[in-house]
Amino acid sequence: MRYEEFALVGRDLFASGLISSHGGNLSVRMGDRVLITRRGAMLAHLTDEDIIETGLHKNDSGVALASSEIIVHRAIYRQTNALAVVHAHPLCAVTLSLYQDTLVPVDSEGSYLLHQVPVVAAAMTIGSEEVASLVAPVLASYRVVVVRGHGSFAVGQFLEEAWQWTSALEASCQILYRVKLLGQPIKEYRQQSENYHTW
């Protein structure tokens, strides 16, 4: 395996239920090249052949095999200093994105790591210029963003880091979802939590 981290993160994404059997995609930046998972690859079972190399600024034959979200990944790399991107379809985060413009965690880990997660909305949600133009600028300021009704894009210097933000996002949203179901105001335990929406 050339890039073991792809296999590790892909397996964990599926095992955690954050993607369906053929959903999600991963990439890393190597200078002016991008390594990205193959279109339709099963992230839980990645092999060497599932890692596709293509250009960051220019297309080449590799793009024929690359994930359909390559356009979003490229935009993120062009507009941020990210070296890795994880795209997933976390169930609770996607559910809440249908109701809210921003996701503000109430749990300790989410508060600590994320503070708040913006939600962006596009009509064409998959592999579109529209998503690319919305997501990339937000990731210049935040670690992770949710595309309404679709999924999350997280950035890091390593795949593991972007995976961590994705995992923390869904954990926070699971708790937010339950809090909403219970319908009672929470007993606040944090200081300055009223400022989280300004993060």
Which of 20, 59, 68, 141 touches other proteins (CB under 8 A)?
Answer: 141
Least distance from other proteins to the Cβ atom of residue 106, Å: 16
Tell the smallest beta-carbon distance from residue 95 to other proteins (Å): 26
Among 143, 145, 147, 174, binds other proteins (CB under 8 A): 143
Nearest distance from C-beta of residue 193 to other proteins, angstroms: 10
- Per rule CB under 8 A, count of chain residues that contact other proteins: 26
Contacts of 54 (CB under 8 A, 6+ apart): 33, 34, 36, 60, 62, 63, 66, 70
Residue pair 6/30 in contact by the 8 Å Cβ criterion: no
User: Which amino acid type is present at position 155?
Assistant: V
Of 19-27, 86-94, 135-143, 171-179, the segment contacting other proteins by CB under 8 A is 135-143
Q: Which is nearer to other proteins, 29 or 39 (CB)?
A: 29
Instruction: For residues 110 and 59, give the distance between their C-alpha atoms in angstroms, rounded to a whole number.
Output: 37
∠2-152-52 over CA atoms, to 5°? 25
Question: For other proteins, which residue of 30, 98, 126, 186 counts as binding (CB under 8 A)?
Answer: 30
Among 21, 49, 58, 81, binds other proteins (CB under 8 A): 81
Residue pointed to by tokens 């009704």: 149
Measured from the CB atom, the residue of 61 and 81 that comes closer to other proteins is: 81
Binding segment toward other proteins, per CB under 8 A, in 6-14, 17-25, 38-46, 74-82:
74-82
On whether the CB atoms of residues 93 and 146 are closer than 8 A, the answer is yes
Q: Assign residue 31 a region (left: φ > 0; alpha: ψ between -120 and 50; beta: otherwise).
A: left
Task: Decide: 158 and 166 in contact? Cβ < 8 Å.
Answer: no
Question: Does residue 99 belong to the site contacting other proteins (CB under 8 A)?
Answer: no
Contact between residue 51 and residue 2 where contact means Cβ atoms under 8 Å apart: yes
130 or 160: CB nearest other proteins: 160
Asked if 165 and 156 touch (Cβ cutoff 8 Å), the reply is yes
Query: Binding residues for other proteins, per CB under 8 A?
Result: 28-32, 79-81, 83, 112, 115, 139-143, 156-158, 160-161, 191-192, 195, 198-199
